[in-house]
């Protein structure tokens, strides 16, 4: 009788090769696209929402400056990011993830990459980016925000612009981090909020912050 444990171990070995293949495909593709900005945001935001237009505008402004746009490849604000790049003929990259719900690749992607594993996809979001813009979103967006903050804070990636767009959406979180997490509980340091995060509703301000960083020799790829 075959040992069930052997079958599980054999499957794990093949899973390792699939993971390696995803890394190789991502590295080979993204290392050739030039300076990029990663934009995170909700998959559920409709096209007539102000956050959608804001995302299109900032992605469009960045693409006019020659920066590629990396998104999660789905709908909502991910679609808006790719749409802004597409409108100007810019590099529009979608890092798609296989999910049982809520994720269909959008029509504005020029360079698609497909992933089964979230952790491989997360590396690709940050490995070749020169900045990160966080638009409003839900759990996935919060996860991406705090992962970027943690990697910068712990110096696992190079310092780079981290811009939160949508002041009304984000100001409550920033206030809570400041009043409770920093001042009351002292779970973070004074340099872990405002020097790391820029809060704005102005696409041109966001582009200016990113351009200043890149022009000053901002380093990528990151040694994640």
The CATH code of the domain that includes 210 is 3.40.50.450
In a domain, 81, yes or no: yes
Q: What's the structural domain count of the chain?
A: 1
The model's pLDDT over 72-88, given as tens digits with 9 standing for 90+, comes to 999 999 999 999 999 99
Neighbours of 6 (CB within 10 A): 9
Is residue 59 one of the residues assigned to a domain?
A: yes
Kindly state the helix (H) or strand (E) to which residue 134 belongs, with its residue range.
strand 129-134
At 171, list the tokens.
Answer: 């100001």
Q: What is the token pair recorded at 160?
A: 């780079």
| Domain contains 34 | yes
Structure-derived torsion over alpha carbons of residues 104, 81, 65, 146, reported in degrees to the nearest 10: -110
Strand ranges of the sheet holding 129-134, from the earlier edge strand across to the other edge: 111-115, 92-97, 68-71, 36-40, 129-134, 162-165, 198-200
What predicted TM-score, i.e. pTM, was given to this entire model?
A: 0.92
User: What's CA 60's distance to the chain center, in Å?
Assistant: 16
pLDDT tens sequence across 11-56: 888 999 999 999 999 999 999 998 999 999 999 999 999 999 999 9
Radius of gyration from C-alpha coordinates of the chain: 18
């Amino acid at each position: 009788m075959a040992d069930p444990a052997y079958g599980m171990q054999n499957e794990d070995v093949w899973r390792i090769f699939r993971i390696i293949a995803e890394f190789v495909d991502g590295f080979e593709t993204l290392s050739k696209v030039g300076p990029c900005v990663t934009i995170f945001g909700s998959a559920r935001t409709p096209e007539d929402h102000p956050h959608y237009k804001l995302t299109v505008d900032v992605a469009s402004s960045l693409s006019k400056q020659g920066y590629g746009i990396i998104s999660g490849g789905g709908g909502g604000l991910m679609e808006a990011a790719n749409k802004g790049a597409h409108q100007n003929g810019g590099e529009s990259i979608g890092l798609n993830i296989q999910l049982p719900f809520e994720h269909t690749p959008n029509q504005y992607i020029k360079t698609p990459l497909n992933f089964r594993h979230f952790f491989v996809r997360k590396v690709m979001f940050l490995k070749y980016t020169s900045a990160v813009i966080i638009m409003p979103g839900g759990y996935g967006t919060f996860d991406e925000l705090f992962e970027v903050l943690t990697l910068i804070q712990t110096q696992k990636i190079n310092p780079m612009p981290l811009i939160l767009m949508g002041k009304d959406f984000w100001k409550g979180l920033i206030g809570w981090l400041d009043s409770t997490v920093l001042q009351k509980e002292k779970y973070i340091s004074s340099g872990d909020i405002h020097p790391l995060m820029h809060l704005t509703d102005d696409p041109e301000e966001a582009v200016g912050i990113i351009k200043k960083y890149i022009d000053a020799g901002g380093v990528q790829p990151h040694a994640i």
